[in-house]
Amino acid sequence: MKIIVCYKWVPDEQDIKIAADLKVDMSMAKWKISEYDKNAIEEAALQAENNAAEVTCLTFGTSKAKQSLKDALSRGPEKAYWVNDAKAENTDGFVTANILAAAIKKVGIPDLIFFGEGSEDSYGQQVGPRVAALLDIPALTFVTKTAVKDDAITTTRSIGNCTEDVTASFPAVVCMLPEINKPRIPSLKQVLKASKKPVEEIKLADLGLSDAELTVKNKVKSIQGFVMNRKNKLYQDGSSAEKVKALVSDLAKEGLA
Amino acid sequence: MAGIYIYSEEQPVTEQLLTAGKTLANSLNEKINVIDFSEQDSESFIKKGADHVLCLKSDHPWPESYAQIIADILKEKDPTVVLIGGTLRGKTTASIIAAKLQTGLVNNAFAIEGSGSVIETKRIMYSGIAVCTEELCHGSIVTIEPRTFDAAQDSDHQGDTENIDIQPEAKTITVGNVCPIVHQDNDIATAEKLVCVGRGLSDQNDMKLAEELAEKLHAQICCTRSVAEDYHWLTTDKYVGLSGAKVKPNLYISMGVSGQVQHVAGMRDSKVIVAVDTNENAPIFAAADYGIVGDLHEIIPLLTKELG
Amino acid sequence: MSDEEKFDAIIIGAGPAGCACAYILAREGKNVLVIERGDCPGSKNVTGGRLYTYALELVEPGLYKDAALERQVVREQIMMLSEKQGITIDYYNENLEENTSIPQSFTVLRAKFDQWFADKAEEQGAMIASGIRVDDLLMENDKIVGVKAGEDEMYADIVIAADGVNSLMGQKAGLKEEWNGHEVGVGIKEIIELPQDVINNRFAVGQGEGAARMILGQTGGIQGGGFIYTNKTSVSVGMVVSPAELAKQDKSVADIYQDFKMHPAIQKLISDGTTAEYSAHLVPENGWNSVPKKLYRDGFLMVGDAAGFCINTGTIIRGIDLAIVSGVAAAKAILKESEQPGIQYMKNLEELSLVPTMKLFAGWPQITSIPRMVQKYPDMINETMDFMFKVDGKVPPKMTGALKNIMKSHVSLFELISDGWRGFRAI
Ligand SMILES: Cc1cc2nc3c(=O)[nH]c(=O)nc-3n(C[C@H](O)[C@H](O)[C@H](O)COP(=O)(O)OP(=O)(O)OC[C@H]3O[C@@H](n4cnc5c(N)ncnc54)[C@H](O)[C@@H]3O)c2cc1C
Ligand SMILES: Cc1cc2nc3c(=O)[nH]c(=O)nc-3n(C[C@H](O)[C@H](O)[C@H](O)COP(=O)(O)OP(=O)(O)OC[C@H]3O[C@@H](n4cnc5c(N)ncnc54)[C@H](O)[C@@H]3O)c2cc1C
């Protein structure tokens, strides 16, 4: 069984600052593998350990994403594919899916393709199922459990008001919810092994995509800090009981107590 | 051809999308088309503003398998914009349709506005720190989460219905064992009042404090992801946030919740937010209307008592 | 034990000491592994903010030009605070090395600098394993032969402890004891972001130029001092105080630091800034007296803060440079391939002037350890200033009498002379 797991290299939102003019400042941000994607990598690693799956990982990123390869490989995959292009700086679900699907076709469609439920930065929640559609294979999304048997995968999906078990024969795309597993913290040996694993850089030009396929669809007009419009009233005077009294009286004024 | 197309596998959500659709239709001067499965709903959709209802008749049970057919229809109709209910199924369906049509997709838009021929959407980025405003390409798909808009009002609006027999195929898929999630209490997504517990609770016994307060307020109890996923004191359908439930009660009281962006992203549409936390620098206070810096073990019983 | 799992050297800690050592060893073809517990180098590290360039020159001439540095320090400032007043001595000097024109020092941000330095070492061929904590040393026949991290064991000809002030590895090797309260300072440090031109204006520096300011007074009467370093678009503000004295007080470091920051003369420098980082860390403060008796044993060397190599004179703190120098000394000792790298290491430290410099500063920073230095003198000087500049329409007191009175109210003549002597002796 072959699995390709896709991940995105994202800025850590803890370090993203919003300036007074609401501009988003990422200059201090450390970058990391999107947390949701770590769940996908972990699930693939578990398949490697338990079902002898052959796991490779794939990322589309700028030259900076190079830093992610070692981390990704230390989490289990035996090989990394990296579509390295500055376009990753300004992309959308449409372009990203076109690129990933083309890259997957180029390296050979595996039995399973894993994704996280969305990327941590833009949380577009579409690349996985888009890739499935482009490859014309089923997409199993919001998955909390996987089980592989013969040439099929059975997943438990948790989709709001119900859970359902869906089985798909290979090949299929599976997108994981975070509760599916706890991503490992790579051990020293895993980290060392990672530095010896092969990395294959894929050039965008080799994917044979048209300009239209590489042009974002919706135009981003602005990305601005979210403004929280709240009263921010802190009760500071008096005893705890007095503070609580003041709070309840304010809630009463709002018709809530 | 043009037009606004609306689809959700859940009828109440379609009715909410009609609210957004009507505003858009006005400013863009376009017709509203609804895609649905049940003939019975079409009358109600028309009353709520649909000009045209396409009723897809099939007995396939898996909503996701309709994506290809909807894509085929949309391809032919060449819509201006497509609004799809942002349930989890809806977002998956929307992504597949968008890929089939090679068009743009904005998931989880919380606002959509049209003027002239330009449509703009807003959605959150970076776990809720930022808002991204996008100008849609022609024919873009937009998903809007349930309860973002109220259901459209009934009127004497006129429209027609078209029935289409379809044959969805999902050869490679079998669906079994569909279990509705039984919400222990009510669904927190629709609760009027919520008490939210975070990791500030010392142990599971402290849940009592929350329960007593909730009982006084006739509120439901929800939690942060850590409480559901690390402590398992509540089930995962009870956690609020970006990857959890989106809630917008009239009153939201948090105790021992630090207020990380991912959590706040799920509750900041609440009408009134109250926070109790020992750390005065906790980000929850920036998201709150009323705050008490203090130990929940002391404050919450006082609050329960004071609420009389 | 397979070849794969044996390195020429394992370095614990990717701070300046570890990176310097790794850089040279790797450059000279050694198979080096650096293990860093932070998710990336520098992520957990705290420093004030100034690096003396000469140390990087020892690693590789010209290396500093490419380094992740903030501003070249051209203003050295000493500030003395009393409750509401402050006097600043400002010394402008571009401080270029005479022959080479190399600037003497730069401000640095560790998150950037350490990452840069580790990347450089990696470029030379060192392997950097981040996000991994070394838990123990592996010992065979009284020789240290490797490290243990979690379940994993890894072997090397030599293990270098560059694991910072608390050096667990030094303790495991039996060379180092836990710190006593009087041997270390507690450092608090905050990075406050400000626009570049605001920093340029407030500190009267040009583009790329920076100020380093040491501050006496307003440490709650506790021995210690504050600092402000200007980075490109932030200032590093903090203080280092004695934990032993702190213990006698009911105020926490955080409280003292808050008061310090609120001092009007300090507040003006940092107002409207946003805090990007707040951290606390120990600083070895006891000079040569607290350097472990032995810095090596078979298969093992200690460098940087782990070895206690840090100097605080009260006007400057030096730790990063000494860390780098000791890393260089260790690497060179290993490259000599002598039977006893430990002895060679000590020789190198001597030759690179590190040991003699450390010996000069034995004991807590002499200047700030005089209690009067952190309270009375700053008060006195500020009162003197007040006298000299005050015009309130009344008849001013006579100069000599007034000055004598100010002095008498703060310190005795005897104290003044003896403090002068101690300060003199300390250097
Ligand atoms: C990709 C991603 C997605 C995520 N999605 C979500 C999500 O959807 N929902 C979600 O909730 N989280 C989510 N998280 C996790 C989130 O970042 C926080 O870790 C989490 O919300 C913190 O939960 P908490 O507030 O309960 O715990 P903590 O952050 O540990 O906060 C506990 C608080 O309790 C206070 N406290 C302690 N003792 C007391 C006391 N005695 N009295 C009063 N106060 C006390 C503390 O001061 C503190 O503020 C996500 C994280 C990531 C990386
Ligand atoms: C507040 C403050 C202000 C200062 N100001 C200055 C200044 O302006 N100029 C100056 O030159 N010096 C200054 N110093 C001192 C200087 O920061 C240190 O002397 C210097 O950082 C020492 O470098 P190092 O490489 O020995 O140790 P560190 O920089 O402490 O690096 C040790 C590394 O080892 C890692 N580590 C520790 N244990 C383990 C383990 N078990 N496994 C794996 N990795 C581990 C740590 O994560 C860390 O990255 C200041 C210090 C403080 C606290």
Q: Which residues in chain A are contacts of B106 at CB distance < 8 A? A: 218
Give the mean pLDDT of B237-264. 94
Q: Is the CB of B293 under 6 A from ligand 1?
A: no
In a domain, C258, yes or no: no
Cα–Cα nearest to A216, from C326, C384, C148, B106: B106
Contact between C132 and C36 (Cβ < 8 Å): yes
Please judge whether A191 and C129 are an interchain contact, meaning their C-beta atoms are less than 8 angstroms apart: yes
Q: What's the CA-to-centroid distance between C15 and ligand 2, angstroms?
A: 6
Phi, psi of C88 (to 5 degrees): -120, 130
Cα(C331)–Cα(C26) distance, integer angstroms: 9
For chain B, the structural domain boundaries read 4-165, 188-306
Q: Cis link prior to A171 (omega < 30° from 0)?
A: yes
Please give the number of the atom of ligand 2 that sits closest to the Cα of C305: 26
Q: What's the CA-to-centroid distance between A185 and ligand 2, angstroms?
A: 24
The pLDDT of residue C426 is: 46
Please give the number of the atom of ligand 2 that sits closest to the Cα of C19: 25
Q: Is the pLDDT of residue C421 over 70?
A: no
The pLDDT of residue A63 is: 93
Nearest bound ligand to the CA of residue B246: 1
Fold of B188-306: Rossmann fold (3.40.50)
Burial of C135 (0-12, 13-18, 19+ CB in 10 A): middle
Q: Tell me how close the Cα of B177 comes to any Cα of chain A, in angstroms.
A: 6
Neighbors of chain B by Cβ distance (3+ pairs < 8 Å): A
Please judge whether C149 and A195 are an interchain contact, meaning their C-beta atoms are less than 8 angstroms apart: no
Which residue's alpha carbon is nearest to atom 51 within ligand 2? C47
Fold of A2-214: Rossmann fold (3.40.50)
E strands, chain B, where? 4-7, 32-36, 52-57, 81-85, 105-106, 111-115, 118-125, 130-135, 140-144, 160-165, 173-180, 193-197, 220-223, 251-255, 272-277, 290-293
Cα(C159)–Cα(C24) distance, integer angstroms: 15
The CATH number of the domain holding residue C147 is 3.50.50.60
Q: Is the CB of C213 under 6 A from ligand 2?
A: no
In a domain, C376, yes or no: yes
Q: What's the CA-to-centroid distance between A146 and ligand 1, angstroms?
A: 28
Q: Is the pLDDT of residue C10 over 80?
A: yes
Q: How many domains does chain C have?
A: 2
Tens of pLDDT along B197-217?
999 999 999 999 999 999 999
Tens of pLDDT along C224-238?
789 999 999 999 999
Q: What's the CA-to-centroid distance between B10 and ligand 1, angstroms?
A: 32
The pLDDT of residue C383 is: 80
pLDDT band at B170 (very low <50, low <70, confident <90, very high): low
Residues C300 and C383 in one domain: no
- Predicted complex ipTM exceeds 0.90: yes
Q: Is the CB of C285 under 6 A from ligand 2?
A: no
Cα(C381)–Cα(C410) distance, integer angstroms: 10
The pLDDT of residue B134 is: 97
Contact between B104 and A94 (Cβ < 8 Å): yes
Q: Is the pLDDT of residue C2 over 80?
A: no
Tens of pLDDT along B274-301?
999 999 889 999 999 999 999 999 999 9
Cα–Cα nearest to B255, from B301, B217, B215, B187: B301
Nearest bound ligand to the CA of residue B301: 1
pLDDT band at B113 (very low <50, low <70, confident <90, very high): very high
Which has more pLDDT, A40 or C219?
A40
Domain boundary among C304, C326, C352: C352
Q: Is the pLDDT of residue C3 over 50?
A: no
Q: What's the CA-to-centroid distance between B264 and ligand 1, angstroms?
A: 10
Q: Tell me how close the Cα of C131 comes to any Cα of chain A, in angstroms.
A: 8
Nearest to A192 among C39, C129, C151 (CB): C129
Q: What's the CA-to-centroid distance between C304 and ligand 2, angstroms?
A: 8
* pLDDT tens for chain A, residues 1 to 257: 999 999 999 999 988 988 889 999 888 788 999 999 999 999 999 999 999 999 999 999 999 999 899 999 999 999 999 999 999 999 999 999 999 999 999 999 999 999 999 999 999 999 999 999 999 999 999 999 999 999 999 999 998 878 999 999 999 999 999 999 999 999 999 999 998 999 999 999 999 999 999 999 999 999 999 998 999 999 998 999 999 999 999 999 999 98
Which has more pLDDT, C180 or B1?
C180
Q: Is the CB of C19 under 6 A from ligand 2?
A: no
DSSP secondary structure letter of residue B240:
B
E strands, C242-388, where? 274-284, 296-297, 300-302, 311-312, 317-318
Q: What is the pTM of this model?
A: 0.85
Residues C36 and C121 in one domain: yes
Nearest bound ligand to the CA of residue C322: 2
Residue bearing tokens 């049509």: B101
Please judge whether A30 and C150 are an interchain contact, meaning their C-beta atoms are less than 8 angstroms apart: no
Using a CB–CB cut-off of 8 Å, the residues of A that contact C are: 17, 28, 30, 32, 71, 185-189, 191-192, 195
What number of C-beta contacts closer than 8 Å exist between A and B? 241
Please judge whether B179 and A163 are an interchain contact, meaning their C-beta atoms are less than 8 angstroms apart: yes
The pLDDT of residue B183 is: 61
Cα–Cα nearest to A176, from A158, A152, A153: A158
Helices B88-101 and A93-107, packing angle to 10 deg? 70
Residue in chain A lying closest to C119 (CA): A67
Residues C306 and C339 in one domain: yes
Phi, psi of A74 (to 5 degrees): -75, -10
DSSP secondary structure letter of residue C271:
T
Contact between A251 and B274 (Cβ < 8 Å): yes
Using DSSP, state whether B66 is helix, strand or coil: helix
The pLDDT of residue C288 is: 83
Please judge whether C131 and A185 are an interchain contact, meaning their C-beta atoms are less than 8 angstroms apart: yes
Which structural domain range is residue C339 located in? 3-68+108-177+292-352
Q: Is the CB of C137 under 6 A from ligand 2?
A: no
Q: Which residues in chain A are contacts of C152 at CB distance < 8 A? A: 187-189
Please give the number of the atom of ligand 2 that sits closest to the Cα of C185: 53
Q: Is the pLDDT of residue C39 over 90?
A: no
Q: Which of A57-71, A197-211, B240-254, C348-362 has the lowest mean pLDDT?
A: C348-362
Residues C311 and C410 in one domain: no
Asked if residue B13 belongs to a known ligand binding site, the reply is no
Its CATH class, for the domain covering B4-165, is: alpha beta
Give the mean pLDDT of C156-179. 94
Give the mean pLDDT of C101-114. 92
Tens of pLDDT along C275-306?
888 888 888 877 788 889 999 999 999 999 99
In a domain, C239, yes or no: no
The pLDDT of residue C241 is: 85
Please judge whether B102 and A225 are an interchain contact, meaning their C-beta atoms are less than 8 angstroms apart: no
Which residue's alpha carbon is nearest to atom 33 within ligand 2? C13
